[in-house]
Amino acid sequence: MNDRMLRLDAILDELVEVERSLARGAARRARLLAEATAVRLAQAERGSEGLAMRSLVAEIGCATRVSEGTVARLVNEAEILVGSLPGTLEALSSGAISYRHAQVVARHAVSVPVGARAGFEAVVLHEAEVLTPSRFERVVRRERERVHPESIEERTVAAQAERSVRFEPDVDGMAWLVCHLPAVVAVAVDDRLDRLARAARSAGEGRTHGQLRADALGELLLGGGAGAGAGAGSDTGSGSGVGDGCDRIVPTVVLTVPALTLLGHDAGQARLEGYGPIDVPTARRLAARAPSFVRILTHPESGETVSVGRTRYRPPADLRLALELADEFCRFPGCARRASRCELDHTEDWAGGGETSRANLHHLCVRHHHVKHDSTGWRVAAGRDRILRWTSPTGRTYETRPSGSPASPWPRSAVRAPLPARSTPLDSCTRGPERRRRPVFRDESARDHLLVGSPGRSLTTGRPTTRGTSAPDPRLDEPPPF
């Protein structure tokens, strides 16, 4: 071999060793996670194990800068590997298999009866050393079907309870819509999209088959018809069908965009709530289809409500909306739940003298609202500019800022001086995290924004609105029952 081939051979050897090192690290991580789980559960009071695990997952996520969903999955996999699959864990520790192979075994073994897991593992494990994870999964799935005591009909009923759809933002004005469906439904949907895309083909069509399928899906869900979009495509492949979907959308949720930008001036960037920056032409097209505009001033000097002190427990509508736009996400470290699906929390509890003010109100999702209040050991204090300083049960500290701040919401220090955790009841200003909201566009620098909403209705409560200021509804001002 010449020198280049010799170097390539050496690189391959190094890559193999890197993969083995990663596998050994994954095995060590699994053992540590299983030990952390055992320690935390040993500390938990009887009946509070679920809350203890929620707190542990949050603490690990903050310390490692990994999402809580990923941490929960890793913890579950660690428990099954350490507790029931010693052979798989040993193979992972030696670098003989990858963590992806170990995940496949763990995911299928968890539904196999405990007494049958050793035999199941022994049958499939030797295949993991010679097959890729995708090929290995087919082998494991077949073996699981063979040894599983429950019929596939019973398991299908249970699995269908896990169906879901989730939204995942991507870059450059794009996003993923991921569906987890029963296999029969998924195959039928896939087949229909295929047929619609093929039917939309024409001599002048510039869109690819994948683009036609995507446009057909958007057309169906947005109620524009049963095709992949009318008209021929362009050279860029965007077509004149559903494309970006703007011609099918009548904004019925809040749309915030600088007024001068809508008029054609370069007045700042538009932002979509729960996503981030989008192009101004898209914002203009959406705004052009809005039924009405309501002016809102978002600077304190403009007259925006910033506090009602101790006179009211529930914040007025303009303050709620301003806080939703400012926070944009849950204010717990690393959480990506949109503020429109969260609850407003008095950081200093109302029952303890906290005010209903901009400085004392912050959005928390239901999960982290309970983490704060249900004696998990987490503590939080509000600082200047609505900065929140969180202290974990082990004493590590983390800061989060409103979404417009350039600072990171992840750990800024690691002080280990835990204080006694306080026990306080759940304090929720707003409920109904599943209510429908309007797409929000925001310019971080401009003070004057336009909000697009349904005519004659409040942007926050949906109740009919009138000109001028009306007296607050006393039913909305009742303090919490604690």
SS3 state of residue 78: helix
Q: Dihedral through CA 411, CA 416, CA 419, CA 424, nearest 10? A: 30
Average pLDDT of the segment spanning 396-425:
58
Count of alpha carbons within 13 Å of 42, Cβ hemisphere only? Answer: 6
CB 364, CB 400: distance < 8 Å: no
Beta bridge partners of 38: none
Average pLDDT of the segment spanning 144-156:
80
More confident call, 44 vs 34: 34
Sheet with 388-391, edge to edge strand ranges = 379-382, 388-391, 397-400, 411-413
CB 67, CB 60: distance < 8 Å: no
267 pLDDT higher than 70: no
**Residues counted in the chain:** 482
SS3 state of residue 122: helix
Two structure tokens written together for 41: 């559960």
CA angle 365, 370, 376 (to 5 degrees): 135
> What span, in angstroms and rounded, lies between the C-alpha atoms of 226 and 193?
10
CB 157, CB 124: distance < 8 Å: no
More confident call, 217 vs 233: 217
> What span, in angstroms and rounded, lies between the C-alpha atoms of 452 and 268?
18
List CB contacts of 174: < 8 A, sequence separation 6 or more.
none
Q: State what percent of residues in the chain have pLDDT above 70.
A: 66
- What are 323-347's pLDDT values in tens digits? 888 888 999 999 988 898 899 999 9
List CB contacts of 10: < 8 A, sequence separation 6 or more.
none
Ramachandran sector of residue 435 (left: φ over 0; alpha: ψ -120 to 50; beta: rest): beta
State how far the alpha carbon of 161 is from the alpha carbons of 109, 145, 151, 155, 190, in Å: 20, 20, 17, 10, 21
pLDDT of residue 269: 61
SS3 state of residue 124: helix
Confidence of residue 248 (pLDDT cuts 50, 70, 90): low
Two structure tokens written together for 117: 């897991």
pLDDT of residue 268: 59
Two structure tokens written together for 112: 């196999």
Q: Report the chain's C-alpha Rg in angstroms.
A: 27
pLDDT of residue 335: 92
CA angle 155, 157, 160 (to 5 degrees): 105
CA angle 346, 349, 353 (to 5 degrees): 115
Strands 397-400, 388-391: pairing kind: antiparallel
> What span, in angstroms and rounded, lies between the C-alpha atoms of 382 and 364?
13
Two structure tokens written together for 66: 């990994």
State how far the alpha carbon of 221 is from the alpha carbons of 79, 154, 198, in Å: 40, 31, 19
Sequential DSSP letters for 176-220: EEEEE--HHHHHHHHHHHHHHHHHT--TT--S-HHHHHHHHHHHH
| Phi, psi at 103, each rounded to 5° | -60, -40
pLDDT of residue 140: 94
350 pLDDT higher than 90: no
SS3 sequence of 214-252: HHHHHHHHCCCCCCCCCCCCCCCCCCCCCCCCHHHCCCC
Instruction: Tell how far CA 208 is from the center of its chain.
Output: 30
- What are 65-120's pLDDT values in tens digits? 999 999 999 999 999 999 999 999 999 999 999 999 999 999 999 888 888 899 99
Two structure tokens written together for 1: 């071999």
Average pLDDT of the segment spanning 119-139:
92
Confidence of residue 244 (pLDDT cuts 50, 70, 90): low
pLDDT of residue 433: 40
List CB contacts of 97: < 8 A, sequence separation 6 or more.
23, 88, 91, 125, 128, 129
Burial zone of 102 (CB within 10 Å; 0-12 exposed, 13-18 middle, 19+ buried): buried
* Type of residue numbered 86: P
> What span, in angstroms and rounded, lies between the C-alpha atoms of 272 and 274?
6
> What span, in angstroms and rounded, lies between the C-alpha atoms of 401 and 178?
29
